[in-house]
Amino acid sequence: MPGVDAVAPIVEARGLCKDYGARRVVTDVSFALARGHCLGLLGPNGAGKTTTIRMVTCFTAPSAGALAVLGLPTTPANHAAIKAGLGIVQQDESLDPDLSVEQNLIVYASYFGIARGAAVPRAEALMRFAELTELLPAPPAALIVTIPTPESADAVRRALRAALERGATALGVVENMVGGPFAGSAADDLAREFGVPVLARIPFHPRADVWDGIAKCIGGAA
């Protein structure tokens, strides 16, 4: 397997193009990403940002142009070496909600070819580093829940239901109630569906029918 070049740019694209049938979705993209730098791909929906990322991460092949990642051309022979050197943070949650944090770490280690015998002590070390080890023997007695967005609502509900089934006490917190109707309905769901009390910071006069009580804070006093 080819070795990763420690001197070359992390990513170097020249005249990168991608076609799907007769449709060109990426046209003549060129950039270089040096070590220690951050590069943002800016553009409207359909501009080719995701497709460019897919080419960089070896999930789809360029139709034209040259692309090297970690100093290696993105040819099939180099895919394993490139993927082994990349870490990808997806926009959507990709953890298994039925596994613990430690179990998720061990499962993900297997995706990168790390044997279980090596993954278990490394996961334990990461748990200690994040100061989560002391939480392993027993579930939390209390859970603070941030009011979810539409995208995270199902995940928050699953976590909340599991915590309540273990006997935890939950408090719903809204840092800034500016989420419009969804934020109000999500807060109401926590209170009515799960019996969870909700504490909210509201920058404007709220609808009276959503809240059971309002306390004004003026000059630091309530």
Residue 119 pLDDT: 93
Q: Assign residue 70 a region (left: φ > 0; alpha: ψ between -120 and 50; beta: otherwise).
A: left
Q: Write out pLDDT tens, residues 162-175.
A: 777 767 676 666 55
Instruction: Reply yes or no on whether the pLDDT at 29 is more than 90.
Output: yes
Q: Which residue has the higher pLDDT, 139 or 93?
A: 93
Distance set, CA 143 to CA 55, 159, 209, 210 (Å): 41, 10, 26, 23
Residues 128 and 172 both lie in one domain: no
- CATH number at 52 reads 3.40.50.300
Regarding beta strands 11-20 and 23-33, do their DSSP bridges make them parallel or antiparallel, or are they unpaired? Answer: antiparallel
AA letter at 165: E
153, 144 in Cβ contact below 8 A?
no
Residues 194 and 146 both lie in one domain: yes
Q: Note if the pTM is more than 0.95.
A: no
Residues 148 and 162 both lie in one domain: yes
Number of domains in the chain: 3
Any domain includes 93: no
Q: Write out pLDDT tens, residues 180-192.
A: 444 556 666 666 6
Confidence of residue 2 (pLDDT cuts 50, 70, 90): low
Instruction: Reply yes or no on whether the pLDDT at 78 is more than 60.
Output: yes
How far apart CA 54 and CA 66 sit, in angstroms, is 14
Any domain includes 128: yes
Residues 25 and 60 both lie in one domain: yes
- Cβ density class 96-125: b for 16+ within 10 Å, e for less: eeeeeebebbbeebeeeebeeeebeeebee
Average pLDDT of span 121-149: 72
Any domain includes 92: no
Write out the residue range of the structural domain in which residue 56 sits.
11-84
Residues 79 and 115 both lie in one domain: no
Any domain includes 62: yes
Residue 217: φ, ψ to 5°: -110, 115
Residues 22 and 79 both lie in one domain: yes
Residues 33 and 77 both lie in one domain: yes
For residue 68, the cross-strand partners are 12, 73
Q: Which of 52, 84, 116 is the last residue of a domain?
A: 84
Any domain includes 182: yes
